[in-house]
Amino acid sequence: MIHRSLFLGLLGITFSLQAQTAPPVLTLKATADHADALYKVGETATFTIEAAQDGKPLPEGKVTCVLSKDGVQSQPPQTITVKDGKATVIGKLDEAGFLLMRVSSGKATAMASAGYDPLLLKPSMPVPDDFEAFWAAQKAELAQVPLKPTLTPVPTTVKNVEAFDLQVECLGKPVSGYFGRPKNAKPKSLPAILHVHGAGVRSSNPGSVAWAANEGGMLSLDINAHGIPNGKPKEFYDALAAGELKDYRNEGNKDREKCYFKGMFLRLIRGIDFLTAQPEWDGKTLIVYGSSQGGFQAFAAAGLDERVSFICAGVPAGCDHTGSQANRIAGWPKIVPNDADGKPDAAALQVSRYFDNVNFATRATCEGAAVTVGFIDTTCPPTSVYAAYNALTVPKSIHVDVLAGHTNTPGASKFMQEAAFRHVREMRKR
């Protein structure tokens, strides 16, 4: 048999194979002219766009820019000419909030944001008159359920710490988590920390047991958001996420008694019940620590339970559900849909007020709060985060990531951890 290339050669036909050249890759970057991206209302912000192709400044090209009020009330798109890799866009806001710029060209995109006096953002609606009465009734009902924890030992590699799978009876689904405590701890000697989860469907995190070894020893409890079993195969959680819990964030959004987050927050309180019932708890230090949906739960805990002494809330969800009433964007889970006329659903709007971080913040009595925010976060937009942060009347601090979206950057994570440890040290001095 004659090989194909030899056969063609015998016929006097020659050819060569050429490698296909990959299309040039365009990348975009956008920044505001103030390093901290903060402006006074009415000031002009200048955004610089940098365009590179295959790592080199783009000689000339076109990009599309859209300015908006943090994702709502978008202005008409602008076509901008890039020369020598750069272009500029100017804009301003005449009210407190954020001016968000999105720039795109083909598949390449970038965002930048300018904050306009965000510390002046006010609640979009007042706290409901019966807010406290509603939650007092929920807590009273929960108190009728006996505190019956089931602790099953689980292995851990953390030295001098014992770990357990914890199940605690609650209204509806149980509290389900991993609990860690130092061995041979003395009564009333340990601070406590409750770790709460972001959105999604997953097991509690056994790694959080390691917190029990921090700062001379802590009681550490990590609970999943749904009261589901821990340590199951991935397929188990995938099936729940595709089935029973597929759209949990919108469940009961038109009936405050059936809102999914009511059960989540009652499990949160029951988790605090468990921690504060431990003989080793020092009776004064209880931190609630979480990000995104976990930040939502941290705010809720501060507003619903006076035993909470400190919260760490990274890029918190659950902020300013009623933002539409002030022509602002709401944060995840966006539980207020629009009706057929494009207006916020009236029933969902009223229900959301009982589950809003802005309202929980006004009831917080803890020693302090540490919050993080990303200026280009489109899941939990900074406008919504500041609306809740500003409503806190307790000592507070906020870590700003100007160029971060919905994530805990290394700086944000360090900020939260150091805030938690500092609180423990301060409380131990008392």
SS3 of the chain: CCCHHHHHHHCCCCCCCCCCCCCCCEEEEEEECCCCCEECCCCEEEEEEEEEECCEECCEEEEEEEEEECCECCCCCEEEEEECCEEEEEEECCCCEEEEEEEEECCEEEEEEEEECHHHCCCCCCCCCCHHHHHHHHHHHHHCCCCCEEEEEECCCCCCEEEEEEEECCCCCCEEEEEEEECCCCCCCEEEEEEECCCCCCCCCHHHHHHHHHHHCCEEEEECCCCCCCCCCHHHHHHHHHCCCCCHHHCCCCCCCCCHHHHHHHHHHHHHHHHHCCCCEEEEEEEEEEECHHHHHHHHHHHHCCCCCEEEEECCCCCCCCHHHHCCCCCCCCCCCECCCCCECHHHHHHHHHHCHHHHHHCCCCCEEEEEEECCCCCCCHHHHHHHHHHCCCCEEEEEECCCCCCCCHHHHHHHHHHHHHHHHHHHCC
Closest CA to 302 of 389, 204, 413: 389
So what's the pLDDT on residue 263?
Answer: 98
Contacts of residue 339, defined as CB under 8 A and 6 or more positions apart, other chains included, come to 345, 346
> What residues form DSSP beta bridges with 223?
177, 196
The verdict on 364 and 301 lying in the same domain is yes
Contacts of residue 241, defined as CB under 8 A and 6 or more positions apart, other chains included, come to 200, 201
> Which tokens is 149 given?
């924890």
- CA 273 centroid distance within chain: 24
The verdict on 77 and 178 lying in the same domain is no
Q: What is the CATH number of the domain that holds 77?
A: 2.60.40.1930
The verdict on 68 and 210 lying in the same domain is no
Residue span of the structural domain in which 87 resides: 26-119
Closest CA to 222 of 168, 289, 158, 281: 289
- CA 397 centroid distance within chain: 17
Domain termination site, one of 88, 119, 150: 119
Residue type, 69: K
The verdict on 160 and 251 lying in the same domain is yes
The verdict on 258 and 234 lying in the same domain is yes
Asked if residue 224 belongs to a domain, the reply is yes
Asked if residue 12 belongs to a domain, the reply is no
The verdict on 146 and 48 lying in the same domain is no
The verdict on 194 and 255 lying in the same domain is yes
Asked if residue 21 belongs to a domain, the reply is no
Asked if residue 74 belongs to a domain, the reply is yes
Task: Write out the chain's pLDDT in tens, 430 residues.
Answer: 334 333 333 333 333 344 455 567 899 999 999 999 999 999 999 999 999 999 999 999 999 999 999 999 999 999 999 999 999 999 999 999 999 999 999 999 999 999 999 999 999 999 999 999 999 999 999 999 999 999 999 999 999 999 999 999 999 999 999 999 999 999 999 999 999 999 999 999 999 999 999 999 999 999 999 999 999 999 999 999 999 999 999 999 999 999 999 999 999 999 999 999 999 999 999 999 999 999 999 999 999 999 999 999 999 999 999 999 999 999 999 999 998 888 999 999 999 999 999 999 999 999 999 999 999 999 999 999 999 999 999 999 999 999 999 999 999 999 999 999 999 999 999 9
Asked if residue 412 belongs to a domain, the reply is yes
* CA dihedral for 111, 372, 409, 268, sign (positive or negative): negative
Closest CA to 73 of 40, 95, 49: 95
Domain termination site, one of 76, 92, 119: 119
Sheet of 161-168: strand order equals 149-154, 161-168, 175-182, 219-223, 190-196, 281-291, 310-314, 368-374, 396-401
So what's the pLDDT on residue 341?
Answer: 84
The pTM of the full predicted model, rounded to 2 decimals, is 0.93
Orientation of helix 131-143 relative to helix 260-276, angle to 10°: 60
Domain termination site, one of 98, 119, 140: 119
Closest CA to 319 of 335, 337, 307: 335
The verdict on 193 and 286 lying in the same domain is yes
So what's the pLDDT on residue 23?
Answer: 62
Would you state the torsion angle of the CA atoms of residues 71, 77, 81, 82, taken in this order, to the nearest 10 degrees?
Answer: 20
Tokens 């985060």, residue located:
385
Q: What is the CATH number of the domain that holds 139?
A: 3.40.50.1820
The verdict on 175 and 99 lying in the same domain is no
> What residues form DSSP beta bridges with 399?
372
Asked if residue 18 belongs to a domain, the reply is no
Question: Whole-angstrom Cα distance, residue 165 to residue 4?
Answer: 66
Q: How many domains does the chain have?
A: 2
Q: What angle do CA 387, 269, 263 make, to 5 degrees?
A: 80
Asked if residue 188 belongs to a domain, the reply is yes
Buried b (16+ CB within 10 A) or exposed e, 9-24: eeeeeeeeeeeeeeee
Asked if residue 6 belongs to a domain, the reply is no
The verdict on 140 and 275 lying in the same domain is yes
The verdict on 70 and 166 lying in the same domain is no
So what's the pLDDT on residue 20?
Answer: 53
The verdict on 370 and 401 lying in the same domain is yes
